[in-house]
Chains A and B, each alone.
Chain A
């Protein structure tokens, strides 16, 4: 069964500092992995996805993530945090076994950016 674990429910960084949000996955098949962002009182917006092509995936708003099979990780990074990055971030893995491509989400990491 597929699942993801997000380490750290809250992360605080200073504006301009590196953002690192951690995600580890469990999957019995080669995974498709996603990062979504959710701003207050809004739905989810796709940041980036990994679908077995390049292991370093670049997304929107300067975010990127690296798929590391040996570590079963898919951590999200951004070199320099901006105030507008403050939001909830969710890592997800796609259920590719049943044919229904539903997503299994982690519990989320709330990012606070300190001015």
Chain B
């Protein structure tokens, strides 16, 4: 088990606000990806970071942004929250030795009112 953790577990925001979600993976995980999972849907790829740089992006607007830090932690920032941003946000990281396999954290449930 790779032990990917996310914080907070749950979050409630109002429309127009900004939010920061956090993810922590283990040493050796040099790639982190973020996914949005709307209720009743499969996860959708937001973006991926590799060695602290964005390495791919899904069909999400620029108000979704991220950071990856040298200590293997990362952030997802969402500005100008909309009601449709309500979802489970999942972080996933990959080992250097097995970049094809992603290990997911438990997620952050974001509710936008």
Contacts and interface: CB of A to CB of B under 8 A. Distances in A.
B56 A102 contact: yes
A21 B104 CA distance: 22
Main secondary structure of the interface of B (DSSP, over half): strand
Interface string B94-106: 1000011111111
Contact of B56 (A44, A51, A98): A98
Contacts, number: 66
A105 B42 contact: yes
Given A43-B6, A49-B100, A104-B45, 17 more contacts: A32-B100, A43-B106, A45-B104, A46-B103, A49-B101, A90-B43, A92-B42, A100-B33, A100-B50, A101-B100, A102-B45, A102-B56, A103-B33, A103-B102, A105-B42, A107-B42, A108-B42
7 contacts: A42-B106, A44-B43, A45-B104, A51-B100, A107-B41, A108-B40, A108-B42
Report the contact-size class of chain B (Cβ under 8 Å from the partner). Answer: 20 to 34
Interface in A34-63: 34, 36, 42-46, 49, 51
